[in-house]
Structure 1
Amino acid sequence: MPTPDALTYGPPVLRLRGQPADALGQALLALTVIDTADGLSRCEAQFANWGPTRGGTGYLFFDWAHLALGDAFTATLTRGASASDPVFDGLVTALDAAFPEGAPPTITLLAEDRLQDLRMTRRTRTFTDTTDADAARRIAAEHGLAAVVDAEGPTHAVLAQTNQSDLAFLRDRARAIDAEVWVAGKVLHVESRRRRKAGTVALAYPKTLLECSAIVDLARQRTAVVVSGWDPASKTAIREVADAAAVAAETTGGRTGPSVLAATFGARPEILVHTVPLSVA
Structure 2
Amino acid sequence: MPELAHEFNVIINGQPAPPDLVRNLTEIVVDDSLYLPDMFTLRIHDSDLVWVDAGILSVGTEVEIWATAADQGAQPGASGRLIQGEITALAPNFGVGAPTLTVRGYDRSHRLHRGKKSRSFLQATDSEVAQRIAQAARLRSQVDATPVVHEYLFQDNQTDLEFLQARAQNIGYQVYVKDKTLYFVKRESEQEQGPELEWGRNLRDFRPRLSTMNQVDEVIVRGWDPQRKEEIVSRASESQIAPHVGVAESGAELAQRAFGAAA
TM bin, normalised by shorter chain, reads 0.7 to 0.9
CA deviation digits over 1:16-71, x for unaligned, max 9?
23322133322222222222332521112222222xxxxxxx22321232422222
Choose from 229, 238, 243 the match for 1:235: 229
Taking a change above 3 Å as real, the CA distance of residues 210 and 251 of structure 1, as seen in their structure-2 partners, is: closer
Deviations 1:202-240 (A, max 9, x none): 122211222222223455644433322211233211222
CA distance in 2, matches of 1:34, 1:192: 26
Which position in structure 2 is the counterpart of 1:28? 25
Once residues 141 and 214 of structure 2 are traced to their aligned partners in structure 1, the CA distance between those partners, rounded to angstroms, is 34
Aligned match of 2:109: 115
Q: Tell whether 2:41 aligns with 1:48.
A: no
- In structure 2, the partner of 1:168 is 162
Q: Per the alignment, do residues 208 and 222 of structure 1 end up closer, same or farther by CA in structure 2, a change over 3 Å counting? A: same
Note the 1:66-105 alignment, pairs <5 A: 66-78=56-68, 79-80=72-73, 82-83=76-77, 84-101=79-96, 103-105=97-99
Distance 1:27 1:218 in 2: 51
CA contact (8 A) 1:37 1:182 kept: no
> What's the offset of the Cα at 1:156?
4.1
Deviates more, 1:8-17 or 1:218-227: 218-227
Task: Classify 1:142/1:251 alpha carbon distance in 2 versus 1 (closer, same or farther; 3 Å).
Answer: same
CA distance in 2, matches of 1:221, 1:156: 36
Residue of structure 2 in register with 1:246 after alignment: 239
SS of residue in 1 equivalent to 2:103 = strand
Structure 2 equivalent of residue 19 of structure 1: 15
Which residue identity does 1:68 align to in structure 2?
S
State how far apart, in whole Å, the 2-side matches of 1:71 and 1:104 are.
25
| Alignment-derived partner of residue 147 in structure 1 | 141
Q: Give TM-score scaled by structure 2 length.
A: 0.81
Q: Distance in 2 between matches of 1:106 and 1:214?
A: 40
The TM-score normalised by the length of structure 1 is 0.76
Q: 1:87 deviation in Å?
A: 1.0
- 2:215–2:262: 8 Å Cα contact kept in structure 1? no
The amino acid that maps onto 2:83 is: F
Task: Tell me the equivalent position of 1:53.
Answer: none
Change (3 A) 1:193 1:37: farther
Larger mean CA deviation between 164-173 and 77-86 belongs to 77-86
Match of 1:172, SS state, is: helix
* Whole-angstrom CA distance in 1 between matches of 2:108 and 2:63: 11
> How far apart, CA to CA, are the structure 1 residues paired with 2:214 and 2:125?
30
**Structure 2, unaligned stretches of length 5 or more?**
none
Pair 168,196 (structure 1): closer, same or farther in 2 beyond 3 Å? farther
Secondary structure of 2:55's counterpart equals: coil
Identity %: 27
Q: Secondary structure at the match of 2:57?
A: coil
Give the CA RMSD over aligned residues: 2.9
Instruction: Return the offset for 1:77.
Output: 1.5
**Deviation digits for residues 151-182 of structure 1, max 9, x if unmatched?**
87865443221121111101212222344332
In the alignment, the residues of structure 1 paired with residue 91 and residue 259 of structure 2 have an alpha-carbon distance, to the nearest angstrom, of 51
Distance in 2 of aligned mates of 1:251 and 1:153: 31
SS of equivalent residue, structure 2 residue 117: strand
